[in-house]
Amino acid sequence: MVTPALFARYPTPQAMADADRADLETQIHSTGFFRNKTKALLAASRDIVTLHDGKVPASMDALLCLHGVARKTANVVLGNAFDIQAGVVVDTHVGRLARRLELTTHQDPTRVELDLMALFPRKNWCRLSHLLIQHGRQTCHARKPRCASCPLLHDCPRIGVEG
């Protein structure tokens, strides 16, 4: 919800690198941890400008060298911006659903990612992340999953779901 206005205001890495810290904080305030994210956005944008000629790098290794970028963010950028299926984005929804559906027993996002990568074809990794995130937001909530309206109800082992 934040990115359309954010990228309209700062359409290039140079524009983001030159952003006023207070203005950037205001733009991303609703995402939570906005001070740390602002610091990371400014530093990563500066790195993109100085180390990559103002172009977002299209490799996992290069992305992981940017300030504030870990595997989740790198996978989002590679999958969505470059259509490179380097891995599965594991956020809280994906991790929770992967455990609930018995696709993994791990808590660590990297271990969850590796388990999901082993189970699904590479060409589906980015889409899998989007589908699990959407399902987690709309139906399979953490505290009160809406199992009665879930299309996976008959196949779901409901790990960690009471009732």
48: which 2 tokens?
């993109």
Residue of 39, 61, 72, 144 marked active site = 72
72 included as an active-site residue: yes
For the chain, what is the radius of gyration of the CA atoms?
18
Q: Which of 59, 86, 91 is nearest to 72 (CA)?
A: 91
74: which 2 tokens?
């790198």
* Cβ count within 10 A of residue 44: 21
91 included as an active-site residue: yes
Residue of 47, 55, 91, 115 marked active site = 91
Task: Please give the positions annotated as active site.
Answer: 72, 91
